[in-house]
């Protein structure tokens, strides 16, 4: 028998254990080859991407909630998992950020767990300032109420020769105008806050303010500007040939001449940016207003007072120019 026939003969009579061992070696060699193939690399290098998680605590206004959720979903994209905030959940998850829409939702989340990272929307600055006093808090906000310096820039754009701005406040809300008073000089303006000591003194105090200022700047201050008082304030101003700027978009329809406002789309986009920043650095940026804004104008009031009003786009550009000039003046 030759050598070839002898090898075949031995292979045919190999033990079952040997044949199993040889088969295992062949499978191992095949798997080794496949491990380096493009198909294998493609399969092992595409793990499922985990979605980031954010909660939304709703306001009492369901229509507003729906609109903001839609805008936030668009701003976040598909890689973010958005869930509704429910009472008691911070005991299970106190690390994921919560977007709180409105002061009630903001207060609810904060009262449940002050260590939970909260980003406030549609809240006033005093809410945030008080919350930031706690060194352990992780709180910030995207403000939507018009910044007062922008409102003054709007009044100056409408009345280019104005130099004096009057403001109304209660004794406990005078602080709302503190930072503005310091910045007025950069818009070539001066201002004075007139304090209303009681409800009975509202109109007499307003008349003094109207005699002083070229226009009245209204802050978002419910103790002064509310459904009960706004009609009297606007009629008194109109009869004395003075305009009111602000406090917010809704009051323009009631008779305020104009106000800037922040589109909800800009609030949503800035919110998404703030949350992404939190995921990257475990901290929110400082509270701020979006740069984008719109202008609401009551043309009927303008015509009644013989005030020429530029087109919105022109007025928008004038406001931006004045704000940029004021910022440059501050940095000199």
Show me where the domains of the chain are located.
Answer: 52-142+265-281, 148-257+298-331
CA 219 – CA 78 distance, rounded (Å): 38
Characterize 291-324 residue by residue with b for buried, 16 or more Cβ atoms within 10 angstroms of its Cβ, and e for exposed.
Answer: eebebbbbeebbeeeeeebeeeeebbebbeebbe
Virtual torsion, Cα 273, 277, 282, 287, nearest 10 deg:
-60
| CATH 3.30.413.10 describes domain 52-142+265-281 | no
Q: Identical fold at 52-142+265-281 and 148-257+298-331?
A: yes
Question: Mean pLDDT, to the nearest integer, of 268-281?
Answer: 96
Smallest Cα–Cα separation from 180: which of 245, 229, 132, 241? 245
pLDDT given for residue 134 in this prediction: 67
Question: Mean pLDDT, to the nearest integer, of 155-175?
Answer: 96
Phi, psi of 243 (to 5 degrees): -105, 155
Residues in the chain: 332
Identify whether the C-beta of residue 260 lies closer than 8 Å to the C-beta of residue 293.
yes
Find the range with the poorest average confidence among 27-36, 62-71, 174-183, 315-324. Answer: 27-36
CA 284 – CA 72 distance, rounded (Å): 17
- The answer to whether residue 38 scores a pLDDT higher than 50 is no
pLDDT band at residue 89 using 50, 70 and 90 as cut-offs = confident
How many other C-beta atoms are found inside a 10 Å radius of the C-beta of residue 196?
A: 21
For the chain, give the mean pLDDT: 85
Using one digit for the tens of pLDDT, what is the confidence trace for 92-149?
888 999 999 999 999 999 889 888 999 999 998 876 776 666 666 789 999 999 999 9
Identify whether the C-beta of residue 55 lies closer than 8 Å to the C-beta of residue 89.
yes
CA 168 – CA 224 distance, rounded (Å): 7
pLDDT band at residue 45 using 50, 70 and 90 as cut-offs = very low
Instruction: Report helix, strand or coil for 51.
Output: coil
CA–CA–CA angle 311, 265, 57 (5° rounding): 140
Question: Mean pLDDT, to the nearest integer, of 24-43?
Answer: 41
Task: Report the CATH fold assignment for 148-257+298-331.
Answer: Rossmann fold (3.40.50)
7 preceded by cis ω (within 30°)? no
Q: Scanning the structure block, which residue is given the tokens 């609109």? A: 67
- What are the tokens at 3? 């050598």
CA 51 – CA 270 distance, rounded (Å): 20
Radius of gyration of the chain measured on its C-alpha atoms: 32
Residues 231-234: contacts with CB within 8 Å, 24+ apart? 231/255, 232/202, 232/203, 233/168, 233/202, 233/206
Find the range with the poorest average confidence among 8-22, 52-66, 172-186, 303-317. Answer: 8-22
């Amino acid at each position: 028998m030759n050598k070839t026939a002898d090898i075949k003969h031995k292979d045919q009579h190999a033990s079952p254990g040997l044949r199993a061992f040889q088969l295992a070696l062949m499978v191992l060699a095949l798997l080794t080859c496949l491990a380096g193939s493009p198909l294998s690399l493609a399969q092992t290098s595409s793990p499922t991407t985990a979605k980031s998680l954010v909660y939304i605590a709703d306001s009492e206004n369901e229509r507003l909630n729906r609109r903001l959720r839609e805008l936030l979903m668009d701003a976040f994209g598909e890689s973010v998992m958005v869930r509704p905030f429910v009472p008691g959940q911070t005991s299970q998850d106190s690390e994921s950020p919560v977007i709180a829409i409105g002061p009630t939702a903001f207060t609810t989340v904060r009262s449940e767990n002050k260590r939970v990272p909260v980003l406030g929307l549609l809240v006033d600055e005093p809410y945030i300032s008080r919350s930031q006093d706690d060194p352990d808090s992780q709180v910030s906000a995207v403000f939507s109420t018009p910044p007062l310096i922008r409102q003054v820039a709007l009044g100056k754009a409408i009345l280019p020769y104005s130099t004096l701005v009057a403001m109304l406040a209660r004794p406990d809300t005078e602080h709302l105008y503190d930072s503005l008073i310091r910045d007025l000089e950069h818009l070539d303006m001066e201002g004075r806050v007139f304090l209303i000591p009681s409800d009975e003194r509202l109109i007499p105090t307003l008349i003094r303010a109207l005699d002083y200022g070229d226009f009245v700047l209204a802050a978002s201050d419910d103790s002064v500007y509310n459904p009960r008082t706004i009609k009297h304030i606007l009629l008194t101003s109109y009869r004395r040939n003075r305009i009111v700027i602000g406090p917010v978009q809704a009051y323009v329809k009631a008779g305020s001449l104009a106000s800037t406002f922040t589109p909800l789309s800009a609030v949503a986009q800035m919110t998404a940016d703030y949350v992404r920043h939190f995921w990257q650095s475990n901290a929110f940026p400082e509270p701020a207003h979006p740069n984008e804004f719109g202008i609401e104008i009551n043309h009927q009031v303008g015509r009644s007072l013989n005030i020429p009003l530029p087109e919105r786009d022109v007025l928008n550009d004038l406001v931006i120019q004045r704000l940029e000039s004021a910022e440059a003046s501050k940095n000199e």
